[in-house]
């Protein structure tokens, strides 16, 4: 870490160090923080105060993210619904609005993918960076919001950024190099301001949100928006919706009120959280 933070003030970008106390308090500035700083002149200063955060992500180090724009595509590279659902859970856990942004609709209209997320109660848009279709819908959703763009590599995140803001001059395919794995020590994250006043953090891949443990397994179902209407309606109060009798979630699945891929993702995440816990116990012993 270089130890510098760049604070955008009304007048300029100020290169700041953080007050030493932050490190002691284990509360270092994150990209997205609203801060106060003391001005040392020459566009340099010291961050003196970090305002309370709406949410924070440790990896990548981001805060105050309003919307998680989850990129997907039904054209190559086809996005695995599990990766979308995992990102949704990460976003929901942090009170961050998930937006499913399906790109490359000029190649594949992704009807099934789009239907899954609309039926599950999520905001979804279909766009093409190539033809410009649907870009206005995306712009409307992110205007004046602080967003993180994430998605599998090659899904078109940088193409979309370039298409919605031609001044946003990043060569297609460059972002992941610039922000990505090459630099092991400096995890460089930056917020870009688009013309529509959206602040965008481009984070390299789904794997960038490498959170390991996401939520307690008992909490997972409540992070699936489509499950919520059925929660509390199972025969057993502590139903995990796996193979218990009279399970309202599995009934909803059978009736088509919960989408199969969503339920499959739930099972997979549940299993992971379960394994995680066992592994944790083993290292404790
Ligand atoms: P990133 O890794 O998510 O940033 O993806 P890129 O923006 O680098 O795009 C990967 C490839 O997909 C490039 O060859 C783009 O030209 C192509 N691409 C991006 N968006 C679209 C689209 O909407 N339609 C089509 N046909 N190709 C696209
Ligand atoms: Zn149940």
Which tens digit of pLDDT belongs to each residue from 41-74?
999 999 999 999 999 988 888 999 999 999 999 9
Which has more pLDDT, 180 or 112?
112
Q: Which range is most confident: 17-26, 137-146, 152-161, 182-191?
A: 137-146
Nearest CA to ligand 1 atom 17: 156
Nearest CA to ligand 1 atom 5: 156
Ligand 1 closest atom vs CA 153: 2
Ligand 1: centre distance to CA 172 (Å): 8
pLDDT band at 107 (very low <50, low <70, confident <90, very high): very high
Q: State yes or no: pLDDT of 285 exceeds 50.
A: no
CA distance 80 to 220: 19
Q: State yes or no: pLDDT of 29 exceeds 70.
A: yes
Which ligand has an atom closest to residue 178 CA?
1
Task: Please say whether the beta carbons of 214 and 273 come within 8 A.
Answer: yes
Ligand 1 closest atom vs CA 162: 7
Ligand 2: centre distance to CA 216 (Å): 16
DSSP assignments along 213-246, one per residue: --S-TTTGGGG-TTTGGGTT-SSSTT--SSS-SS
Q: State yes or no: pLDDT of 182 exceeds 50.
A: no
Coil, helix or strand at residue 203: coil
Segment 217-229 shows an average pLDDT of 97
pLDDT reported for residue 243: 95
Q: Interhelix angle for 81-93 vs 111-119, to 10°? A: 30
pLDDT reported for residue 170: 56
Ligand 1: centre distance to CA 187 (Å): 24
Which has more pLDDT, 191 or 250?
250
**Ligand 1 pocket test target in 107, 156, 172, 200 with most atoms within 8 Å of CB:** 156
Q: State yes or no: pLDDT of 86 exceeds 70.
A: yes
pLDDT reported for residue 189: 79
Where are the chain's structural domains? 5-50, 56-208, 217-281
Nearest CA to ligand 1 atom 10: 154
Domain at 217-281: CATH code:
1.10.40.50
Task: Please say whether the beta carbons of 88 and 70 come within 8 A.
Answer: yes
Nearest CA to ligand 1 atom 16: 159
Domain 56-208 of CATH type 3.20.20.70: no
Task: Please say whether the beta carbons of 71 and 152 come within 8 A.
Answer: yes
Weakest mean pLDDT among 83-87, 196-200, 275-279: 275-279
pLDDT reported for residue 278: 62
Nearest CA to ligand 1 atom 9: 156
pLDDT reported for residue 282: 55
**Ligand 1 pocket test target in 101, 154, 159, 201 with most atoms within 8 Å of CB:** 159
Taking a 5 Å cut-off on Cβ, the residues next to ion ligand 2 are 234, 239, 241, 247, 249
Which residues form the pocket of ligand 1, taking CB atoms under 6 Å from any ligand atom? 103-104, 106-107, 128-130, 151, 153-159, 172-173, 175-176
Nearest CA to ligand 1 atom 22: 104
pLDDT reported for residue 169: 62
Ligand 1: centre distance to CA 154 (Å): 6
pLDDT reported for residue 261: 98
- pTM beyond cutoff 0.95: no
CA distance 187 to 61: 8
pLDDT reported for residue 186: 41
pLDDT reported for residue 281: 54
Q: Which residues contact 97 (CB under 8 A, 6 or more apart)?
A: 66, 67, 68, 91, 123
Segment 110-114 shows an average pLDDT of 98
């Amino acid at each position: 870490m270089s130890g510098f933070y760049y604070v955008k003030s009304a007048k300029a970008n100020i290169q700041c160090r953080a007050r030493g106390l932050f490190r002691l308090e284990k509360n270092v500035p994150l990209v997205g923080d609203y801060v106060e700083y003391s001005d040392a002149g020459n566009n340099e200063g010291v961050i003196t105060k970090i305002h309370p955060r709406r949410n924070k992500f440790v990896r990548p180090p981001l805060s105050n993210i309003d919307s998680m724009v989850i990129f997907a595509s039904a054209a190559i590279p086809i996005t695995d619904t599990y990766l979308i659902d995992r990102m949704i859970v990460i976003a929901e856990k942090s009170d961050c609005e998930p937006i499913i942004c399906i790109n490359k609709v000029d190649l594949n209209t992704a009807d099934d993918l789009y239907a899954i997320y609309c039926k599950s109660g999520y905001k979804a848009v279909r766009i093409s960076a190539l033809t410009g279709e649907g870009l206005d819908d995306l712009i409307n959703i992110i205007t004046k919001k602080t967003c993180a763009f994430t998605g599998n590599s090659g899904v078109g995140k940088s193409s979309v950024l370039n298409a919605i803001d031609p001044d946003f001059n990043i060569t297609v395919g460059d972002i992941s190099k610039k922000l990505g794995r090459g630099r092991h020590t400096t995890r460089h994250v930056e917020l870009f301001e688009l013309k529509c006043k959206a602040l965008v953090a481009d984070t390299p891949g789904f794997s960038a949100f490498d959170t390991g443990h996401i939520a307690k397994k008992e909490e997972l179902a409540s992070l699936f928006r489509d499950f919520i209407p059925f929660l509390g309606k199972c025969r057993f109060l502590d139903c995990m919706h796996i193979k218990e009798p009279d399970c309202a979630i599995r009934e909803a699945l059978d009736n088509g009120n919960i989408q199969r891929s969503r339920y499959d993702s739930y099972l997979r995440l549940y299993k992971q959280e379960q394994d995680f816990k066992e592994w944790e116990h083993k290292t404790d012993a």
